[in-house]
Structure 1
Amino acid sequence: MMRQYLKKDEWKIIEEGFNPEHHTASESIFSLGNGQMGQRANFEEAWSGPTLRGSYIAGVYYPDKTRVGWWKNGYPEYFAKVINSPNWIGIDVNINDETLDLFKVSKVENFVRILDMKKGVLQRQFTATLNNGIRVSVTTERFLSMERPEVGAIRFSVTPENDDCNLIITPFIDGDVKNEDANYDEKFWNILSAEASAFEASLLSQTKKLDFRVGFAAKSIITGGETSNIQPIQNATFAGNQISLKAKKGEKIIVNKYVGVCSSLYHPAEQLLSQAKKQASEAAEVGFDNLLTEHAAHWENIWKHSDIKILGDVAAQQGIRFNIFQLNQTYTGKDERLNIGPKGFTGEKYGGSTYWDTEAYCIPFFLMTAPQKVVKNLLIYRYKHLGKAIENAQKLGFTDGAALYPMVTMNGEECHNEWEITFEEIHRNGAIAFAIHNYIRHTGDDAYLEQYGLEVLIGIARFWSQRATYSQEKQKFVILGVTGPNEYENNVNNNWYTNKIAQWCLNYAREAIDIVEKNNPQRLEEIIKKVKLDRNTETNMWKSVADNLYFPYYEEEGIFLQQDGYMDKEQITTDELSPSIRPLNQHWSWDRILRSCFIKQADTLQGIYLFEEEYDTETIRRNFAFYEPRTVHESSLSPCVHSILAARIGNVDKAYELYLRTSRLDLDDYNREVHEGLHITSMAGTWMSIVEGFGGKRVYDDRKLRLAPCIPEQWHEYSFRIRFRGNDLEVRVNQEQVEITCHGTGSTSLLLYNEEVDIPAGKSICKPLINNYYAKN
């Protein structure tokens, strides 16, 4: 059941009218970030209603002690959480001795909240009648600077509408915060200092474990009104100013609050407060309008390279831009220590940690829209965690350098404590290996293998060769006791996707060794010595496992069987389910879900998506026709893969339906969970649905860029830009033709509907649209 209360607009997210029931959802949807910090769209002024107050600092986390019913060998001792940090946006307003609190005032009118995605600004306006009879109009505007990632700025104005009044305005920084998801209701911060002077406040915080430190400093400038008193206030966890003033009817009082936020990831601990104060002071000198101008210019450059334009369908246009906006404000690629949490800076669910989502979904997006170093930093992040991945495997009994990357992590250690995920959802290893391959075939950076990639691939291949078991009964290698991408089935044998990605990893590791040997034999010898590889023995074993791996198959339907025993389940489809029991995970017992045939997200189809080059259209069509009707899409990662494959087999109507679902998953709150935070990593799948789905973009192992666009009937035109091998290409598709422009400095060649086309630098080519080309060939 969707929840649709937001106005449709091409560049803005707009909430008109005040409804407290929507507040926590809107806190997520209107979130802001700049790659280095982020925050939910909490009100600056007091709010006593339901809320998840959240302000987050990238790379700063807390190892919250694991909470489980009983312990199992191999369980992690903690769950790493990006923690709710001191609240620096606060500006309390007292009007004639009554606090401005929209949850308690007599009336709220003309409420509008706007997220301007083009400029990266959150705006709000409303008129409130307080219980004491005073009516005020309020406007707010804030942003987290993309140009100055340690700066946040707020402009807050209040105007008495019906009488003169006395105001007390209190801009503050509050360190008394907690995580909603704290396992033992523990607060995670020590506040080392809190200081206030006229119009200024500062606070120094320290995590209770790991000794991350963050300094905050705020400088406030007030214009309008007659100021009568400035009273600095501070206690052990709070610093601010009470500014008393008189305001005449119709007089606008403006508070500009500039904040510096500096963490120990980037500054020595002893310099944090001085650096934060410097950032706040410099921001105040530059001024709100100039800060906003440079911030908006930064966003203009981002949109130049990553925007997707859709003509004729405002809902679709708004959806894709919302997803692109959130991705770019969550991760900028400047720091190889950082990664992309499933909720980004918008909520606490999943701990804010790194999942396989990054490699499977986010890397394809950043490969095509961002500079090459952005994706390289994501890969280096995993390379630097290789030692921890080997330790994780050792804890589960694997040996000799076998590596199992964690399902959930901040520093490379596994910190997920559900056994069916921690121990069994091992296909995540494959996503990391495939990301290396995907990066190289898109960029041509073969040197990455010798620099970093090969060591990772060897560790992963060692894991798969040890994880497989030889079955005397089948005379094949089998992989037992796993959870595939479909988390609605646990502890299954021979999950087709897991076996497929394992086989591919084993073969790719051998291929990578040969590539490094050809390009840099000396470096190969260094790697072999470093990882203690017995080349002949081990690679022969990898080949034996890969060549003899078992794959379940269902002859009657001619499909790859999701896992052993899947057809033993009662075979019913999702159209037989009542909407009243959806989503299943909020209505059914886990036992009932596990015994059903219903699929949470693409599983077998995930493998077909990755290795599509190996299958003809009819094979893809049969598997899609069988599995999609059994898929409930209760994972945010699900609709995009199905949308891409639907376009691939020529079912453009289905592709469009699933595109809308993935692009508006949070805006329309399909699964009634957006209050917990946005689905940041799956948002990259929205981009994939257009570029790889309707755009038909592919890069197979021949490393040739291919395009085969189709277009939904609902759209007049769409266009996107992609980077490939140093070239910047713009693809424009309407109902009659495809136009491709080369914006790079050199010419480029690609396959358009399997026809080789050459495009000179600065020139365009136009060709007739061939709808559903892939489906026909």
Structure 2
Amino acid sequence: MNQDYIVPDEWSIIEEGFDKNRVKSSESLFSIGNGAMGQRANFEETYSGPTFQGSYIAGVYYPDKTRVGWWKNGYPEYFAKVLNAPNWIGIDISIDGEPLDLNTCTKVDNYRRELNMKEGWYQRSFEATMPNGIEVKAVVTRFLSLKYDEVGAIKYELEVLNKDVGVAAMPYLDSGIKNEDSNWDDQFWNTTNIVADGSRGFIEAHTMKTNFATCTFMMATAEAHNEQVKPSSPQKTDTKVSLTFDTALKKGGKLTVIKYGGYTVDRNHDKNKLIEAANEVLDKVSAIGFDGLLQTQKKAWADIWQMSDIAIKGDVKAQQGIRFNIFQLNQTYLGTDSRLNIGPKGFTGEKYGGSTYWDTEAYCIPFYMATKNQEVARRLLKYRYNHLEKAIENAQKLGFENGAALYPMVTMNGEECHNEWEITFEEIHRNGAIAFAIYNYFRFTGDYSYIPEMGLEVLIGIARFWHQRANFSEHKGQYVILGVTGPNEYENNVNNNWYTNYIAKWCIEYAIEQLEKVKEGYPDDYKRIIGKTHLTETETEKWKKVADNMYFPYSKEHGVYLQQDGFLDKELIPVSELPKSERPLNQKWSWDRILRSPYIKQADTLQGFYFFEDHFTKEELRKHFDFYEPFTVHESSLSPCVHSIQAAKLGRMDQAYQFYLRTSRLDLDDYNKEVEEGLHITSMAGTWMSIVEGFAGMRIIEDKLNFTPQLPEKWEAYSFKINFRNRILKVTVTKEGSSYELTGTEEMSIRVNGQRVVLKPGETIQA
């Protein structure tokens, strides 16, 4: 049974009624971020029940020594932890000497949370009876500013309902925090300086080992009965600074605390001037005020939604799902800083560590290319180019030579930091996703300049890796790739994973093709790159020999490529015959049992059919889909979207819609029973793809946009916008057909269901 407490709403995530058992899940679902920092939806006041406190700063991490396997040659020595940063949101409330704590209150009524995605704010409200009999009402509003991305703001309104009382509000900063997932219980932060200055507080701290310098700051004001309340002298400990606003409240009276807080970091400022930088930003935002900042926030989100929204008519849950996904993607990454990337949990939790997986290239780049300008996607590609030397180092540690590059499975700075051997050493298909993203970027944007400037060097490093990783099998008379883990992580250490072999062949061929194009069209870049890489024709001929003679496991009996050499040796029992009580497998079965089973965690062979669909016929897709989908448990968040797109291509819209619902509401409905650990941010881009590439059938064919639109039965209509080469196209699909509206200065031709349609700016064409 999936959770179903989130109230369906087109623009908001809403929870009604207080339930201690879902506090941690809601902390994930109501998380907020602004690209530079983020936080789980923890309570500002004390909460003594189960909670997962989490605040995070983009790009700040700690190299936590791995618990297993670090002695193996080539094994990463550490697992990069997304660091739980000093907490600035805290506002303890004491009433007649007793702390306000929803866990100990005798009654909690009218409890409500709302995450307003349209305007970018989060609000919690409740009425509570404390153990001392005092009844209070609270409304707490919070947001992280998009415009001033070092700052967040909180308005905490507290009303006493049944008697006159004494109230103390204590806004604080706390650097005495730990990660939920620390391997050795190490101290991750070293607090170096605590400063209190009137209504402001500052904690300077740096991370151990990585030495990121940060200043966590706050400023607070309070008002009771429409009069300012002055703070008493600040209190300081070794890791904490707090202010206290003491006041008497009459029955029905209200105390309002405004708190600004956030981080200045040495990634953006002189590490010796972090308090100075914090004061500057506090001066700026306090002059604007809470309401003014909120108005700025609403405008910033309106601008984002103007381009990235997908509007659905007739299905509120589907609408809520897609907007939640688009909202979280924009909270996580806005494309303004090429040093940053998109972590699988974003700012909502610590699981997986690292900030970069192959998810970025395989799933996220299409979303950012189409909903922002091409510079954003280019920055994501530049991020990988900047890490090329580290990728070469990673390959060297495993015994590869001559500039072969193996990009990490998980990274913060380009260095591999994943600590499961079957993934670190074997899930090498990640290299292919990076090459594919370069191809995909050019295909969509038409901007070839990235390849001669940066991309070709990346492609050479990747091709060198595949050439060396493959070996010639005398027995088969072809090149094989042994000892790998494909996208389906429920098979480890297999031989000739079809997807891995196929993408390896494609990478080599694509690198050779781009070498020729750059040689012909960009001779200066070609000369520079050849001089830098020492590439020779003899070497590329060896690459080509591998690509031309790659082995692919195939079953004549079933007429399909085999996921790997031994797939047919398994007991092929479909998922439909598995008792529901045994799912999810990763929580119910031993790893040994999973590895021997035929069950597929996520699209594997079908991932290749998604990337390279123009290499195969529709009939081949149908055969492979029908063979593999019945064994797929979709226990990876990255699986349903690929299947949704392919089901739509096959005209199976009921199935495509079910997969879409699963990907769009994966976290809202907690399909995998793990949402309390954080959200699945990178797979959210797959939700967008399910509609745009799945239902609308958008493809780039012969350098033009193509659409084959379909409408799920439950929907009345849907619409979205695409930024295609600096021209904005709005697509609307209804029961009657589809329409296309172009914004820009020049006309554009597209194809709809195979027919050419010429669009002129300002016109809407029915097709």
Q: Kindly report which structure 2 residues correspond to 1:657-672, keeping only aligned pairs within 5 A, or say none.
A: 657-672=658-673
Tell me the CA shift for residue 703 of structure 1.
Answer: 2.4
Residue identity opposite 2:623 in structure 1: R
Secondary structure in structure 2 of the residue aligned to 1:627: helix
Question: Where does residue 380 of structure 2 map in the other structure?
Answer: 378
Partner Cα separation in structure 2 for residue 74 and residue 118 of structure 1: 47
Residues 344 and 352 in structure 1, CA contact (< 8 A), matched pair in contact too: no
Residue identity opposite 2:530 in structure 1: I
Question: Where does residue 775 of structure 1 map in the other structure?
Answer: none
Secondary structure in structure 1 of the residue aligned to 2:176: coil
Residues 231 and 243 in structure 2, CA contact (< 8 A), matched pair in contact too: no
Residues 694 and 710 in structure 1, CA contact (< 8 A), matched pair in contact too: yes
> Does 1:646 find its partner at 2:632?
no
Secondary structure in structure 2 of the residue aligned to 1:414: coil
Question: Where does residue 612 of structure 2 map in the other structure?
Answer: 611
Question: Where does residue 544 of structure 1 map in the other structure?
Answer: 545
Partner Cα separation in structure 2 for residue 257 and residue 349 of structure 1: 29
Residues 224 and 247 in structure 2, CA contact (< 8 A), matched pair in contact too: no
Q: Kindly report which structure 2 residues correspond to 1:362-377, keeping only aligned pairs within 5 A, or say none.
A: 362-377=364-379
The equivalent position to 1:508 in structure 2, one of 507, 510, 516, is 510
Question: Where does residue 335 of structure 2 map in the other structure?
Answer: 333
Superposed CA deviations along residues 291-319 of structure 1, whole A, max 9, x for unmatched, are 01111101001001000000000000000
Superposed CA deviations along residues 103-126 of structure 1, whole A, max 9, x for unmatched, are 111111100000000011000100
Residue identity opposite 1:722 in structure 2: I
Question: Where does residue 686 of structure 2 map in the other structure?
Answer: 685
Partner Cα separation in structure 1 for residue 13 and residue 555 of structure 2: 46
Partner Cα separation in structure 1 for residue 478 and residue 376 of structure 2: 41
Partner Cα separation in structure 2 for residue 417 and residue 124 of structure 1: 38
1:228 and 1:190, CA in 2 relative to 1: closer, same or farther beyond 3 A?
Answer: closer
1:39 and 1:260, CA in 2 relative to 1: closer, same or farther beyond 3 A?
Answer: closer
Superposed CA deviations along residues 418-462 of structure 1, whole A, max 9, x for unmatched, are 110000000000000000000011111111111000000000000
Partner Cα separation in structure 2 for residue 252 and residue 264 of structure 1: 39
Partner Cα separation in structure 1 for residue 757 and residue 480 of structure 2: 45
Structure 1 unaligned blocks of 5 or more:
768-777
1:359 and 1:228, CA in 2 relative to 1: closer, same or farther beyond 3 A?
Answer: closer
Tell me the CA shift for residue 228 of structure 1.
Answer: 7.8
Superposed CA deviations along residues 263-306 of structure 1, whole A, max 9, x for unmatched, are 11100001111111221222111001110111110100100100
Provide runs of 4+ in structure 1 moved above 4 Å. 225-229
Question: Where does residue 263 of structure 1 map in the other structure?
Answer: 265
Question: Where does residue 310 of structure 1 map in the other structure?
Answer: 312
Residues 435 and 462 in structure 2, CA contact (< 8 A), matched pair in contact too: yes
Partner Cα separation in structure 1 for residue 71 and residue 635 of structure 2: 29
Partner Cα separation in structure 1 for residue 128 and residue 668 of structure 2: 27
> Does 1:710 find its partner at 2:710?
yes
Tell me the CA shift for residue 627 of structure 1.
Answer: 0.6
Tell me the CA shift for residue 597 of structure 1.
Answer: 0.2
Superposed CA deviations along residues 73-99 of structure 1, whole A, max 9, x for unmatched, are 111111111200000000000001110
Residue identity opposite 1:697 in structure 2: M
Secondary structure in structure 2 of the residue aligned to 1:258: strand
Partner Cα separation in structure 1 for residue 355 and residue 298 of structure 2: 29
Residues 66 and 79 in structure 2, CA contact (< 8 A), matched pair in contact too: yes
> Does 1:475 find its partner at 2:473?
no
Residues 222 and 230 in structure 2, CA contact (< 8 A), matched pair in contact too: no
Secondary structure in structure 1 of the residue aligned to 2:621: helix
Partner Cα separation in structure 2 for residue 70 and residue 293 of structure 1: 51
With the length of structure 2 as denominator, give the TM-score of the two structures: 0.99
The equivalent position to 1:466 in structure 2, one of 458, 465, 468, is 468
Superposed CA deviations along residues 663-714 of structure 1, whole A, max 9, x for unmatched, are 00000000100000000000000000000000101124x3221111111110
Question: Where does residue 193 of structure 2 map in the other structure?
Answer: 193
Partner Cα separation in structure 1 for residue 198 and residue 108 of structure 2: 32
Residues 138 and 157 in structure 2, CA contact (< 8 A), matched pair in contact too: yes
Tell me the CA shift for residue 260 of structure 1.
Answer: 4.0
Residues 354 and 417 in structure 2, CA contact (< 8 A), matched pair in contact too: no
Residue identity opposite 1:481 in structure 2: G
Partner Cα separation in structure 2 for residue 69 and residue 205 of structure 1: 31
Partner Cα separation in structure 1 for residue 231 and residue 301 of structure 2: 40
Superposed CA deviations along residues 547-578 of structure 1, whole A, max 9, x for unmatched, are 11011111112111111010110011111011
> Does 1:39 find its partner at 2:39?
yes
Residue identity opposite 2:173 in structure 1: I
> Does 1:720 find its partner at 2:716?
no
The equivalent position to 1:487 in structure 2, one of 486, 489, 492, is 489
1:228 and 1:601, CA in 2 relative to 1: closer, same or farther beyond 3 A?
Answer: closer
Secondary structure in structure 2 of the residue aligned to 1:346: coil
Residues 603 and 632 in structure 2, CA contact (< 8 A), matched pair in contact too: yes
Q: Kindly report which structure 2 residues correspond to 1:196-211, keeping only aligned pairs within 5 A, or say none.
A: 196-211=196-211
Partner Cα separation in structure 1 for residue 335 and residue 231 of structure 2: 46
Partner Cα separation in structure 2 for residue 353 and residue 366 of structure 1: 17
Q: How many residues align?
A: 765
Question: Where does residue 362 of structure 2 map in the other structure?
Answer: 360
Question: Where does residue 598 of structure 2 map in the other structure?
Answer: 597
Question: Where does residue 176 of structure 1 map in the other structure?
Answer: 176
Secondary structure in structure 1 of the residue aligned to 2:284: helix
Question: Where does residue 571 of structure 1 map in the other structure?
Answer: 572
Q: Kindly report which structure 2 residues correspond to 1:60-459, keeping only aligned pairs within 5 A, or say none.
A: 60-68=60-68, 71-225=71-225, 227=229, 230-459=232-461
Structure 2 unaligned blocks of 5 or more:
none
Residues 228 and 246 in structure 1, CA contact (< 8 A), matched pair in contact too: no
Partner Cα separation in structure 1 for residue 249 and residue 233 of structure 2: 18
Question: Where does residue 733 of structure 1 map in the other structure?
Answer: 733
Secondary structure in structure 2 of the residue aligned to 1:367: helix
Secondary structure in structure 2 of the residue aligned to 1:230: coil
Secondary structure in structure 1 of the residue aligned to 2:745: coil
Question: Where does residue 695 of structure 2 map in the other structure?
Answer: 694
Secondary structure in structure 1 of the residue aligned to 2:629: helix
1:228 and 1:439, CA in 2 relative to 1: closer, same or farther beyond 3 A?
Answer: closer
Partner Cα separation in structure 2 for residue 186 and residue 453 of structure 1: 39
Stretch of structure 1 that moved more, 91-100 or 510-519: 510-519
Residues 707 and 753 in structure 2, CA contact (< 8 A), matched pair in contact too: yes
Partner Cα separation in structure 2 for residue 260 and residue 583 of structure 1: 38
Partner Cα separation in structure 2 for residue 446 and residue 431 of structure 1: 18
Secondary structure in structure 1 of the residue aligned to 2:459: helix
Partner Cα separation in structure 2 for residue 598 and residue 555 of structure 1: 21
Partner Cα separation in structure 2 for residue 91 and residue 615 of structure 1: 59
Stretch of structure 1 that moved more, 449-458 or 720-729: 720-729
Partner Cα separation in structure 2 for residue 748 and residue 224 of structure 1: 60
Secondary structure in structure 2 of the residue aligned to 1:533: coil
Residues 190 and 206 in structure 1, CA contact (< 8 A), matched pair in contact too: yes
Tell me the CA shift for residue 720 of structure 1.
Answer: 0.7
Partner Cα separation in structure 2 for residue 76 and residue 438 of structure 1: 30
Tell me the CA shift for residue 519 of structure 1.
Answer: 1.4
Question: Where does residue 751 of structure 2 map in the other structure?
Answer: 751
Partner Cα separation in structure 1 for residue 71 and residue 565 of structure 2: 29
Secondary structure in structure 2 of the residue aligned to 1:62: strand
Tell me the CA shift for residue 352 of structure 1.
Answer: 3.9
Superposed CA deviations along residues 155-178 of structure 1, whole A, max 9, x for unmatched, are 001000000100011001111011
Superposed CA deviations along residues 716-749 of structure 1, whole A, max 9, x for unmatched, are 0000111111111010001111001002222111
Question: Where does residue 627 of structure 1 map in the other structure?
Answer: 628
Tell me the CA shift for residue 180 of structure 1.
Answer: 0.7
Residues 200 and 240 in structure 1, CA contact (< 8 A), matched pair in contact too: no
Secondary structure in structure 2 of the residue aligned to 1:602: coil
Partner Cα separation in structure 2 for residue 425 and residue 45 of structure 1: 44
Tell me the CA shift for residue 187 of structure 1.
Answer: 2.1
Tell me the CA shift for residue 235 of structure 1.
Answer: 1.5
Residues 218 and 259 in structure 2, CA contact (< 8 A), matched pair in contact too: yes
Partner Cα separation in structure 2 for residue 523 and residue 146 of structure 1: 38
